[in-house]
Amino acid sequence: MIIVMKHGAADTEVDAVVSKIREAGLREHVSRGAELTIIGAIGDEGKLSPAHFEMMPGVDRATRVVKQYKIVSRDTHPQGSIINIRGIPLGGEQIQVIAGPCSIETQEQMDIAADAVAAAGCSMMRGGAFKPRTSPYAFQGLGVEGLEIFQQAARSHNLPIVTELMDVRMLDTFIEHDVDVIQIGARNMQNFDLLKEVGRVNKPVILKRGLSATISEWLMSAEYIAAGGNHNIIFCERGIRTFETAYRNVLDITAIPVLKRETHLPVIVDPSHAGGKAWMVPALAQAAVAAGADGLLIEMHPNPCEAWCDADQALSPQELKQLMVTLSAIATAVGRKL
Ligand code: PEP
Ligand code: MN
């Protein structure tokens, strides 16, 4: 930790800071400049809190130098991690596209969707059985029945399934229903109890970025999962809230290279919830692949006009197929495969 003293801080104030560092079992390095005195605390800074120093007389500010996230950090694991999802590698040379409807509606809808996902060449299928809706009166998802419908549809094409877990009480049900990837939605990115529980199971987790979460908060949320022993974490950028209202969210493309530098874990992008309109999805998906995303999470519905949830942003089966062709060319251009 670095403690910067105020201009003209007294020697007694510097001594008090040094004593506090030593009390915690660390050593100090005092650097007296012409203008300022800066004190470095050497040792396990986890034992110190910047706030405790900032309350002391003569202290201007205190900053940690070691990152708060360790397991997910690239510092501790320089090689990129590849997550194995029922034999499908996510995070390597191959870019994986996960597609499917926003929500599971009927067996017929999911059967047609699974056919379309497989026909387009996507490797995994999405679909929500438990939906985080803004209005309590909107369709909330089919619940457990939806998981059964989903499994039946996806298994016919051997597609691993990705679905959102909102309530920790449903975790056992997800495991019993053999959900392949647990999605933690944007609204639950900082539901720490939920994160701790998915940290205790051995299932891959897609951790979506919170609506207004910083990169650092997002990494810390992933660390919550990793700290429980589950290191199979996939970050999913899905757009953030800004002042702009012309689209649902702002896709933060910059987050892709920044995260790839900060963490060894795979990073995917959801262009559907970012743009909020189907016509924006191809451009955003292409940009994501060009910027280094390891995969995409795309909403597709057999008949978008009839979708029970997020109809505006769903691609049709034909549009998904077309997009996969374009993405393949971009993947090749950036040294990846689709
Ligand atoms: C979803 O993927 O269906 C969803 C609700 O996404 P988000 O949590 O990003 O809003
Ligand atoms: Mn949706």
Check pLDDT > 90 for residue 67: no
Mutate to test the pocket of ligand 1, among 270, 284, 308 (most ligand atoms within 8 A of CB): 270
Q: What is the mean pLDDT of residues 138-148?
A: 97
Cβ within 8 Å of residue 201, ≥6 positions away: 171, 175, 182, 230
- pLDDT tier at 68, thresholds 50, 70, 90: confident
3-state secondary structure of 167: coil
- Side-chain-side CA neighbours of 55 within 13 Å: the count stands at 5
Check pLDDT > 90 for residue 46: no
- Full-prediction pTM beyond 0.85? yes
Cβ within 8 Å of residue 101, ≥6 positions away: 109, 110, 113, 126, 127, 128, 299, 300, 301, 302, 307, 309, 314
Would you state the pLDDT for residue 294?
98
Task: State if residue 208 touches ligand 1 by the CB under 6 angstroms criterion.
Answer: yes
Which ligand ends up closest to the CA of 163? 1
Structure tokens at 214: 């910083």
Please give the biggest Cα pair distance in the chain.
77
What ranges do the domains of the chain cover?
2-63, 74-333
Q: Please identify which residue in the block is written with the tokens 């403690």.
A: 3
Would you state the pLDDT for residue 263?
98
- pLDDT tier at 66, thresholds 50, 70, 90: confident
Distance CA 114, CA 107 (A): 10
Q: What is the mean pLDDT of residues 241-268?
A: 98
Return the DSSP state at 253: T
Q: What is the mean pLDDT of residues 177-193?
A: 98
Closest ligand 1 atom to Cα of 208: 9
Percentages of the chain per state (helix, strand, coil), in multiples of 5: 40, 20, 40
Question: Sheet containing 2-5: which strands, arranged edge to edge?
Answer: 27-32, 37-42, 2-5, 59-63
Beta strand ranges found along 203-283 (DSSP E):
205-208, 233-237, 267-269
Check pLDDT > 90 for residue 148: yes
Which ligand ends up closest to the CA of 240? 1
Structure tokens at 278: 């189907």
Q: What are phi and psi of 214, to 5 degrees?
A: -80, 165
Q: How far is the CA of 151 from the centre of ligand 1 (A)?
A: 20
Question: Is the Cβ–Cβ distance between 103 and 286 less than 8 Å?
Answer: no
Q: Was domain 74-333 assigned CATH 3.40.50.170?
A: no
Q: Please identify which residue in the block is written with the tokens 């199971």.
A: 201
Q: Which fold has domain 2-63?
A: Alpha-Beta Plaits (3.30.70)
3-state secondary structure of 115: helix
Q: What is the DSSP string of 52-76?
A: HHHTSTTEEEEE--S-S--TTBTTS
- pLDDT tier at 228, thresholds 50, 70, 90: very high
The average confidence (pLDDT) of the chain is 97
pLDDT in tens, 149-183: 999 999 999 999 999 999 999 999 999 999 999 99
Task: State if residue 185 touches ligand 1 by the CB under 6 angstroms criterion.
Answer: yes
What share of the chain has pLDDT > 70, as a percent? Answer: 100
Number of residues assigned to the chain = 338
Distance CA 272, CA 310 (A): 9
Going by alpha carbons, the residue nearest to atom 3 of ligand 1 is 102
Cβ within 8 Å of residue 209, ≥6 positions away: 186, 189, 218, 235, 236, 237, 238, 240, 252, 255
Q: What are phi and psi of 203, to 5 degrees?
A: -110, 140
Report which of 129, 136, 213 is spatially closest to residue 167, judged by C-alpha positions.
129
Task: State if residue 101 touches ligand 1 by the CB under 6 angstroms criterion.
Answer: no
Q: What is the mean pLDDT of residues 266-291?
A: 98
> Checking DSSP bridges between strand 267-269 and strand 2-5, what pairing results, if any?
unpaired
pLDDT in tens, 98-142: 999 999 999 999 999 999 999 999 999 999 999 999 999 999 999
